[in-house]
Amino acid sequence: MASVLIAFSILFLVYFALQHKRKKGTPFSGPPPAPIIGNLLQLPPTKVWERLFEWGRTYGPIYQFRLFSTPLLVLNTWEAGREMLDGKSALYGNRPLPKIIEMSGFDKGVVLEHDPTRLRQARKLLHSVLQPRPLAQYREILEHHVDVLLHNIMHEPEGYVDHIRHLTAGIAMEISHGHRVTSRDDPFVHRANIFADNFAEASLPNNHIVDWLPFLARFPSWLPGMGFKEKARRFKEQYFSLADEGHRMVKDDIDNGVARPSLTYKALVEGKPGEVPDDVIAFAATQVYTGGADTASLPFQKLISYVQTVSTLSSFILFMVKNPDVQKKAQEEIDRIIGSNRLASFSDRDSLPYTESIINEVLRLRPPVSVVTREAGEDDIHNGYLVEKETVILVNFWGMLRAEEHYPDPHTFNPERWIGRERSDPTHPLNIAFGFGRRSCPGQHLAEELVFTTVARMLALFDIAPIKDEHGNPFIPSDDSTNGGITFPVPFRCSIEPRSDRARWILEGLEHE
């Protein structure tokens, strides 16, 4: 028996040595791993991006660590992101696909699609409505929903986060299916929220044993411990039903001559028959508006950008509470350039550089997505270093946007740093926070327009200030943020009041319209 074990051990060691000999290149350096578990115990339970940033100071802009047998490669600078994800987008284009996600059908759509043909078709559909030129036809819709937000905030300022979520969901549903959301109880938004909860649960690390032991998916459902199979079946049924119902709604509207412009309408009516399969259209459109639902709990995944917009606008309100001088300076700019006879629109962006600089600094200091994941499709030698196939790539946006060499005093909110700085500057937050390569956020143009319009109109009409305690002293909220793939300021209260009688009159007029 002992001789058999010795022989087996020798064969294993020879095989292991041969495998590594075939792979030319030196592994990237990184924190020394412990046996079996790797660097698991060195990672904090929350805000892992901060630890990744600290390690980068020791091990450089690209380094490697391990969780059990899985290698993870960290990109801590924008230069590294451009070099690997833009320069080798075909190799590093896919996201890791947990087994429970695959079983639930959540790999259908643009977010986690691995089939290159279907991904290309889905992204083309998104670009058909989300690029600057086609977006122009939705500008009136966007401004309508922003005005609804302003009206809702005037009447219920303490619910500003819910109002922002309603704003993004309404715009998303119109763009995806031409459906106007007029109530918080809208059935499509309700079902999108169910999908978001299901997706969040399926995406949680360490939540399903089948993600670590994929072969369990082949076992029959009646065995003990196979409850994940029934859960995946329910998740898939709900998601597919959601996509199918929205798709059929637009088809019925087309047949009845009442369809409004949307991604689905454009694909069905203006595209060549059969050019894009119906299910690709249905899932791409569904992920547009499920991305606008209340998906605050989604871990690490990056949907179309509407949830990021909720995060960015919430952070904007926080920074205005904490920086009244910045708010006053932006209001003076808007009053001087726009006046009081109209509200700013996206076409005023170049005329309001200080307002724009506030948005840039919010996005830099509080990127809504701190880290995203990619996966190496094949072995790669990068600058002489080995990146093994299936290595998980961690793109640390939080760290990239706090590099002191590009952003002096990086932890301080300072919009002035962007005055006179060109939009083409590679260190500009808009060139980093929306990602790199073929998985960069396709909704960036819409997000930029929506955030600018909302911020400029809020500043024109409202004063955003701290609430006061029983002694009349201002209560300044915390800088802390939530944990997770999309981060938000921790819940805080503030005062949001019309700036003047005229501002109140304008807001009342929005209600009438």
| pLDDT per position as a tens digit, 238-254 | 999 999 999 999 999 99
- pLDDT at 272 exceeding the cut of 70: yes
pLDDT tens track for 180-210: 887 777 888 788 778 877 887 777 666 788 8
Q: What pLDDT is attached to residue 512?
A: 59
Q: What pLDDT is attached to residue 186?
A: 82
Cβ–Cβ < 8 Å for 321, 494:
yes
Q: Alpha carbon of 309 to those of 19, 304, 507: distances in Å? A: 46, 10, 22
In this structure, what are the phi and psi dihedrals at residue 26, rounded to the nearest 5 degrees?
-95, 135
Instruction: Find the mean pLDDT for residues 103-112.
Output: 86
Residues in the chain: 513
SS3 sequence of 116-136: HHHHHHHHHHHHHHHCHHHHH
pLDDT tier at 95, thresholds 50, 70, 90: confident
pLDDT tens track for 456-507: 999 999 999 999 888 888 888 988 888 766 788 999 999 999 999 999 999 9
> Is 354 or 376 the better-scoring residue by pLDDT?
354
Instruction: Find the mean pLDDT for residues 342-349.
Output: 94
Q: Which residues are annotated as a binding site for heme?
A: 441
Cβ–Cβ < 8 Å for 256, 268:
no
pLDDT tier at 21, thresholds 50, 70, 90: very low
Q: Which residues are annotated as a binding site?
A: 441
What homologous superfamily does CATH list for 97-300?
Cytochrome P450 (1.10.630.10)
Q: How far is CA 374 from the centre of its chain?
A: 14
pLDDT tier at 8, thresholds 50, 70, 90: very low
Average pLDDT, the chain: 86
Instruction: Find the mean pLDDT for residues 34-39.
Output: 90
pLDDT tens track for 410-449: 999 999 999 999 989 999 999 998 888 776 777 788 889 9
- Write the DSSP assignment of 140-175 as a string of letters: HHHHHHHHHHHHHHHH-GGGHHHHHHHHHHHHHHHH
Cα three-residue angle 461-466-467, rounded to 5 degrees:
105
Cα–Cα distance measured from residue 486 to residue 441, given in angstroms and rounded to the nearest whole number: 14
Cα–Cα distance measured from residue 439 to residue 436, given in angstroms and rounded to the nearest whole number: 7
Of 134-143, 147-156, 472-481, highest mean pLDDT: 147-156
Q: Report the 10 Å Cβ neighbour count for 242.
A: 20
Cα–Cα distance measured from residue 293 to residue 166, given in angstroms and rounded to the nearest whole number: 8
Of residues 101, 132, 127, 128, the one with CA closest to residue 114: 101
In the chain, domain spans? 97-300
Q: Residue 507 has which token pair? A: 């807001």
Cα–Cα distance measured from residue 513 to residue 511, given in angstroms and rounded to the nearest whole number: 5
The DSSP secondary-structure symbol of 304 reads: S
Cβ–Cβ < 8 Å for 382, 496:
no
pLDDT tens track for 291-317: 644 443 333 334 445 567 888 999 999
pTM assigned to the model: 0.85
